[in-house]
Amino acid sequence: MRRKGLKILMVTSEAAPFAKAGGLGDAVSSLANSLSSLGHDVRVLLPFYSVIPRDLRQNFHPLPGILSVHLGQEHWARLWEFSPPGRPCYYFIEYDQFFFRDRLYDGPYGGFEDNPQRFAFLCRAAIDLPEFLQWIPDVYHVHDWMAALVPIYLETVARHGPLAHTGSVLTIHNLQHQGYAHRSIIDYAGLPWELWQPDKMEACGGINFLKGGIYFANKLTTVSPTYAEEIRMPALGCGLEGVFRFRGGDLVGILNGIDQDLWNPAADPTLPANYDVDSLSGKNLCKMDFCRQRFNIKEAGSRPLFVAVSRLYSQKGLDVLANILPWVVETMDVRFAILGCGEWLLEEQLASIMRCFPGRIWFYRGYDETLAHRMIAAADFFVMPSRFEPCGLTQLYSMRYGALPIVRATGGLKDSVVSREQGVNRATGFVFCDLTHQALYNAIGWACATYYDCPDDMLTMQQNGMRRDFSWEQSSRRYLDCYHWAMEKKT
């Protein structure tokens, strides 16, 4: 039976290329593109941050009228639209008091104190938007704690209005951030006080946005099948494992896809040379160019190049890599290039290691997307020893670019990388289990030995990864099933 096109409203705090702090922004935009290309009416609401690049902002158009946002007190905001033909329609809500800041979520002293108010505002705006547009969605697809109040509004104050039959799907991209707030946020958000109960939004005497969203959303998803299992257990449930077990029947793990146009080594305009699975000579040029620029050396092919591109937070396990890096470069003939920013101490540690090993280790402190593309194209190996990883996108990018990922067996890393021990004809990388110094050292040594001793295996593994299909095709169909399940619950 052919299903009719759906009206889908995504609510998110990030969407690439407008505003992005990590994989959430990539995942939302590329899923929206995929659903739109399947013929669905996809619209995306996010804040009008001042960090949105000026050249993108130039294409936004103001919508006539002012949106009235019905929090505890009424707020008014302007909306901007960006609606390229054949693509999802983006709405940006302008409210400078909340969104005119240098960064999305935090400043030099940690998360912004008013984050609960900022994102309660976004969620309530999402509820008020459909009447303003005269467009009622079939389903809301909301992402992470920042949008988790939407299902709560839908099941409480908006239960009997025009959204009475609109379903909700909540996707958890990262459980580490849950949105804790003082209980007074209930009044601010204009929600009923009966929500302040342990089996609704209450947690440790305050309010937990994500917990409430998990209780109230019609369907729950997370971004890989393994992570959907892991979060039901205390080790990775971040205190919500009981809630996930309670809602277990409605929780589905769907692996993220990637934007295969944006991440395409055969046509990537940021690379010094392009290449594809049948001819990797361009990849060697990328490596040579990178090594010449960053290590000040001419030859490229002789030593393996290991790369990491990441936020520098404990989740990513790069502190373990930093601890063993001197040992690795003293005992193996390798080069390391790392791009990242985050925790100051880890940044400092990496910077000082680089100073001790010039020509062997290079570290760039910062966020630079062009450099990320170039490094992944230049890399022989991509290191990702995450403590936990809901999905992870960079290991997918690296496989597509012929860099073999070295990953810990957790979450989406386990679901997406086939380890060398599974046989060279299937393998796409190296998988290890324990996050210990020795285990990571051994995994790097394993990769290094493959590079020097088994170049044919290395090439086969690169080609295996480059031939894998990481498009959204399959995953977006699974999301459509979730939307239909959510809608059925509301009929």
Q: Which is nearer to ligand ADP, 28 or 170 (CB)?
A: 28
**What gap in Å lies between CA 409 and CA 417, rounded to an integer?**
9
Burial of residue 291, with CB atoms counted within 10 A of its CB: 0-12 exposed, 13-18 middle, 19 or more buried? buried
SS3 state at 431: strand
Interface with ligand ADP includes 393 (CB under 6 A)?
yes
User: Which tokens is 165 given?
Assistant: 């039959």
SS3 state at 402: coil
**What gap in Å lies between CA 150 and CA 166, rounded to an integer?**
11
Q: Which is nearer to ligand ADP, 95 or 382 (CB)?
A: 382
Q: Which is nearer to ligand ADP, 139 or 307 (CB)?
A: 307
Q: Which is nearer to ligand ADP, 169 or 339 (CB)?
A: 339
| Cβ within 8 Å of residue 187, ≥6 positions away | 72
Q: Whole-number minimum distance, CB 472 to ligand ADP, in Å?
A: 14
Interface with ligand ADP includes 394 (CB under 6 A)?
yes
Interface with ligand ADP in residues 325-354 (CB under 6 A) = 339-341
Of 372, 427, 440, 443, which one interacts with ligand ADP (CB under 6 A)? 372
Q: Which is nearer to ligand ADP, 36 or 394 (CB)?
A: 394
Of 202, 241, 276, 369, which one interacts with ligand ADP (CB under 6 A)? 369
> Which residues are bridge partners to 45 per DSSP?
11, 91
Interface with ligand ADP includes 392 (CB under 6 A)?
yes
**239 conformational bin, left if phi > 0, alpha if psi -120 to 50, beta if neither:** left
The identity of residue 113, as a single letter, is: E
* Burial track 337-351 (b if 16+ CB lie within 10 A, e otherwise): bbbbbbbeebbebbe
Of 22, 88, 137, 213, which one interacts with ligand ADP (CB under 6 A)? 22
Q: Whole-number minimum distance, CB 389 to ligand ADP, in Å?
A: 7
Q: Which is nearer to ligand ADP, 32 or 71 (CB)?
A: 32
Q: Whole-number minimum distance, CB 351 to ligand ADP, in Å?
A: 14
Q: Kindly report the CA angle at 435 between 429 and 438, in degrees rounded to 5?
A: 85
Of 367, 446, 452, 485, which one interacts with ligand ADP (CB under 6 A)? 367
Q: Which stretch binds ligand ADP (CB under 6 A): 89-97, 147-155, 362-370, 441-449?
A: 362-370
Point out the residue whose Cβ comes nearest to ligand ADP. Answer: 23
SS3 state at 50: coil
**What gap in Å lies between CA 229 and CA 283, rounded to an integer?**
37
Q: Which is nearer to ligand ADP, 42 or 339 (CB)?
A: 339
Q: Which stretch binds ligand ADP (CB under 6 A): 82-90, 204-212, 389-397, 462-470?
A: 389-397
Q: Whole-number minimum distance, CB 261 to ligand ADP, in Å?
A: 14
Q: Which is nearer to ligand ADP, 343 or 369 (CB)?
A: 369
Q: Which stretch binds ligand ADP (CB under 6 A): 21-29, 62-70, 142-150, 415-423?
A: 21-29
| Residues binding ligand ADP: number (CB under 6 A) | 18
Interface with ligand ADP in residues 282-321 (CB under 6 A) = 309-311
Torsion angle in degrees (nearest 10) through CA of 387, 392, 396, 399: -20
**What gap in Å lies between CA 89 and CA 82, rounded to an integer?**
6
Kindly report the number of other CB atoms within 10 A of residue 421's CB atom.
Answer: 10
C-alpha separations of 403 from 42, 335, 373 in Å: 34, 14, 12
User: Which tokens is 53 given?
Assistant: 């690049």
Q: Whole-number minimum distance, CB 296 to ligand ADP, in Å?
A: 22
Q: Whole-number minimum distance, CB 310 to ligand ADP, in Å?
A: 5
- The gap from C-alpha 319 to its chain's centroid, in whole angstroms, comes to 20
List of residues contacting ligand ADP (CB under 6 A): 22-24, 26, 309-311, 339-341, 367-369, 372, 391-394
